[in-house]
Structure 1
Amino acid sequence: MSTLPISLQAQRTTLALPILVGGGVAGLLDMTSAYITFGRFMPIGIAGGIVGAAGRHVSVGQYILGLSIHYFIAFSAAAVYCVASKKLEFLREHFIVCGLFYGIAVFLVMQLVVLPLSAYHAMGPYQYRGMVEGLLAHMVLIGLPISICLRMLSPLNR
């Protein structure tokens, strides 16, 4: 009898904790930053990216939809980084630099792919201050927490 299937299943589940904690922390930090910057109705604005003009009407459903979308993106970003780290070991070894650069990558995907495809069709022109604040926020509040959680919680590092 072989233990290979057990070890393969264990390898698949090793990233669940870093993905959940990293995505949760990054989502919480980014949402806190968005609340401070844009106000308490920021989740309504996020929901408007899917529902369009109907997103201007404040409702509990819209609020929950916005929070759900926000955390889905945060957990997806964490999952991409953690899964990529299985093949690209330098993501775990040089986690601070890679986390900062991953934050830049997440920011660029949001600005150049997600927002133009949303119902807002946001494509600029961008203000310099907003770009710098967005880059720094994504670097420190999204990329870095995800990489640190992977480094601290992944059994691949032990």
Structure 2
Amino acid sequence: MNAQTVSVQRPPGGWSRVALAILVGGLIAGTLDIGAAALINLASPRLILRFIAGGVQGGAALQGGTASEWLGLVLQWAMSLLIAAAFVLPALRLRWMTSRWVAAGLAYGVVVFAVMNYVVVPLSAWHRVNHFTPGSFAMNLAAMLVFGLIVAFAARKFVGAARG
């Protein structure tokens, strides 16, 4: 069996710009998403963080206190960084994702909304699919559109701008 070497080209501006795009886009979008969820659900951000922790702890997270809230924050940021990386890394090769960042970000927000609500949440310890009213569907989708725009803007700023 022959070992093959995978060649990874250094992106314009270097890997530090890629990391910045992922960190800035992911952490800002993820943090604002907590606030959006609090506003949409008329709940405190601390309760939202407990619901996020419930993805691994189940219903026990609602009585978990500060420890569950910290777990929720770590999970939120980890997922947000993964979601940002899933946009930024393809954008290294697909230039249109940064040159047409608004359209790409909005489309990505729709994808994130669908994956989170119809794949991630049902597979979590909550074991449920969100049932939306038309209003809550629109508000939650709008929040994910903003999430996608933030990630796409960070990719444009740190990766796309380095290409010229």
Range class of TM-score, shorter chain: 0.7 to 0.9
Identity among equivalent positions (%) equals 30
Distance in 2, Cα, partners of 1:99 & 1:124: 23
Residues 100-119 of structure 1: pairs in structure 2 closer than 5 A = 100-119=106-125
Q: Report the residue type matching 1:14 in the other structure.
A: R
**1:116 Cα offset (Å):** 0.6
> CA separation of 1:29/1:157 partners in 2, compared to 1, >3 Å: closer, same or farther?
farther
Distance in 1, Cα, partners of 2:64 & 2:39: 19
Q: So what's the TM-score if we normalise by structure 1?
A: 0.87
Q: Report the residue type matching 1:42 in the other structure.
A: I
Is 1:131 the counterpart of 2:133? The answer is: no
Provide the residue aligned with 2:69 in structure 1.
Answer: 63
> Could you say what secondary structure the match of 1:88 adopts?
coil
**1:14 Cα offset (Å):** 3.2
Larger deviation: 9-18 or 31-40? 9-18
2:154 to 149, 152, 157: 149
Provide the residue aligned with 1:30 in structure 2.
Answer: 33
**1:106 Cα offset (Å):** 0.5
Higher helix fraction: Structure 1 or Structure 2? 1
Q: Report the residue type matching 1:138 in the other structure.
A: M
Q: Report the residue type matching 2:113 in the other structure.
A: F
Residues 2-41 of structure 1: pairs in structure 2 closer than 5 A = 8=10, 11-38=14-41, 39-40=43-44, 41=47
Contact kept, 8 Å, 1:47 with 1:55, in 2: the verdict is yes
Gaps of 5+ in 2: 1-6
Q: So what's the TM-score if we normalise by structure 2?
A: 0.84
Distance in 2, Cα, partners of 1:115 & 1:30: 16
Provide the residue aligned with 1:42 in structure 2.
Answer: 48
> Could you say what secondary structure the match of 2:126 adopts?
coil
Provide the residue aligned with 1:120 in structure 2.
Answer: 126
The alignment yields a C-alpha RMSD, in angstroms, of: 2.0
Aligned length: 152
Q: Report the residue type matching 2:103 in the other structure.
A: V
Contact kept, 8 Å, 2:53 with 2:75, in 1: the verdict is yes
**1:124 Cα offset (Å):** 4.3
Gaps of 5+ in 1: none
Contact kept, 8 Å, 1:104 with 1:139, in 2: the verdict is yes
Distance in 2, Cα, partners of 1:11 & 1:70: 27
Provide the residue aligned with 1:53 in structure 2.
Answer: 59
Deviations 1:37-84 (A, max 9, x none): 332211001111111121121411100001111111111111110001
